[in-house]
Amino acid sequence: MKILVVDDHALVREGLREVLKGLDEQIHVLEAPACSRAFELAALHPDLDLVLLDYHLPDMNGLAALSIFGKNHPELPIIMLSGSVNPKVMRQVLAQGAAGFMTKSGLSDDLLGVIRRVLEGEIFTPPELLNLSGSLQADELESTPARFVLTPRQEEVLYLLMDGHSNKDISRSLDLSEETVKNHVSAILRGFDVQTRIQAVIAASSHGYFKPLPLV
């Protein structure tokens, strides 16, 4: 397994290298102090499995870096790391194509759990972002389009998407063929006028769709 850590603080990179050993003692960790070096390493190592990318870097911010990674390495999953919790930034990062967002104040075990999920093909949406129904700013509410109405089956698919499940997982959970699930996902993307599953999750949240709480 090969993971690229991008952070301008050497101590943070060293700390993450030690944490990542919790995935595999033989893990190969590459380090970059800035985006320019990160892009070079990504080009030199096409077998990268994951990138841990700091949002605040000396040569560009995380959104700009995500855009470049997305163009050059569209299949490479990226988890954005930040020292602060900013819902607006979270939404922007996930809409830009990140596979997850984690704050640096989180626990090592939590980070490893998110990494494992992302490496399995899931998308990690921070709980803070999924529970923002009452905390949108006025300007965001004014710019939010009318709620897109889904069929009951599409809602079931959407909630599983929001929980980070793959098409195969959804197929098993709902007892549907993968082709049927793919068609439902395509309909959801068209309905929200977005291109990716991550953008669909963000759009769904802005339209008032939130994962139902488990029964107790």
What confidence tens digit (pLDDT) does each residue in 65-83 have?
988 998 898 889 999 998 8
pLDDT in tens, 135-171: 444 344 344 444 456 778 888 898 898 888 888 999 9
Residue in 56, 3, 8 with CA at minimum distance from that of residue 32? 8
* Residue bearing tokens 């949002």: 55
User: How many folded domains does the chain comprise?
Assistant: 2
pTM of the model: 0.64
Give the span between the Cα atoms of 29 and 7, in whole angstroms: 13
In the 8-state DSSP scheme, what is residue 84? S
Q: Could you tell me if 40 and 119 lie in one domain?
A: yes
The per-residue pLDDT for 142 is 41
Q: Could you tell me if 73 and 144 lie in one domain?
A: no
The per-residue pLDDT for 24 is 86
CATH number, position 67:
3.40.50.2300
pLDDT in tens, 100-119: 899 888 889 999 999 998 88
The per-residue pLDDT for 145 is 44
Average pLDDT over residues 200-209: 74
Evaluate if residue 183 carries a pLDDT over 50: yes
Please give, one letter per residue, the 3-state secondary structure of 8-62: CCHHHHHHHHHHHCCCCCCCEEEEECCHHHHHHHHHHCCCCCEEEEECECCCCEH
Q: Could you tell me if 22 and 120 lie in one domain?
A: yes
> Residues for the chain: how many in total?
216
Domain that holds residue 192: 138-206
Q: Could you tell me if 157 and 120 lie in one domain?
A: no
Give the span between the Cα atoms of 169 and 29, in whole angstroms: 30
Residue 216 lies in a domain: no
